Amino acid sequence: DAGVIQSPRHEVTEMGQEVTLRCKPISGHDYLFWYRQTMMRGLELLIYFNNNVPIDDSGMPEDRFSAKMPNASFSTLKIQPSEPRDSAVYFCASRRTPQETQYFGPGTRLLVL
Amino acid sequence: GESVGLHLPTLSVQEGDNSIINCAYSNSASDYFIWYKQESGKGPQFIIDIRSNMDKRQGQRVTVLLNKTVKHLSLQIAATQPGDSAVYFCAENRGGFQKLVFGTGTRLLVSP
């Protein structure tokens, strides 16, 4: 299995621009998670999906952030408009069930200038 | 003003030593635990897991110990190598919940 796939791996953009991060979970995994990692706050859960349905989005910082999962093999995390404080590494992770291991993707390193 | 980041506890060991990384968890209802390793510039990588009906589990050079009485988890790495240098996170799955709760991490530095 290829593991969790994320794109792009690096993104540099200017403040105010729209940013879209993409994730392909491991096939057969029913849970998909979006995390953000910064030096200041560590690893934070933003939102997670079960069977393509958003279950908990309480970690989404504000309305500028949105996430979708149109099918079992694809999810997006969008920031519009982006701000410098959104600069971080964004990870996608997936797992089959809550009683099984959660696997992380390689992350997208976002820099907003 | 001066920015302050997370202060990660750091464990420094010599190559060949055994390392023990500790983690305290808070919820007695947690029933599944995972250790992750994160190298610089990479995503967290699964190392080993353990369920609450066990108190010890061994992998290749790693052992996880679970003490439910004091809500403590530890990761033991035998014959530590420079390639083991990374940040190690424990994560717990609280019973009835679908998401993992992560610890803040411990930095392991291995000197040749």
Cα A70 to Cα B45: distance, rounded to the nearest angstrom: 27
Contact A55, A49 (CB under 8 A): yes
The answer to whether A42 contacts B44, with C-beta atoms less than 8 Å apart, is: no
The answer to whether A33 contacts B99, with C-beta atoms less than 8 Å apart, is: yes
Give tens-digit pLDDT for A17-69: 999 999 999 999 999 999 999 988 889 999 999 999 999 999 998 899 999 99
Tell the burial category of B88 from Cβ atoms under 10 Å away from its Cβ (0-12, 13-18, 19+).
buried
What is the CA B22 to chain-centroid distance, rounded? 7
Distance from the Cα of A108 to chain B's closest Cα (Å) equals 10
Distance from the Cα of A99 to chain B's closest Cα (Å) equals 7
Give tens-digit pLDDT for B81-91: 999 999 999 99
Distance from the Cα of B58 to chain A's closest Cα (Å) equals 16
Which residues of chain B have a pLDDT value below 50? 1-3
**Minimal-distance CA residue of chain A relative to B87:** A42
* Residue B27: per-residue pLDDT: 87
User: Hey, is the C-beta of B6 within 8 angstroms of any chain A C-beta?
Assistant: yes
The answer to whether B3 contacts A40, with C-beta atoms less than 8 Å apart, is: yes
Give the strand pairing for B30-38 and B45-51.
antiparallel
The answer to whether B5 contacts A40, with C-beta atoms less than 8 Å apart, is: yes
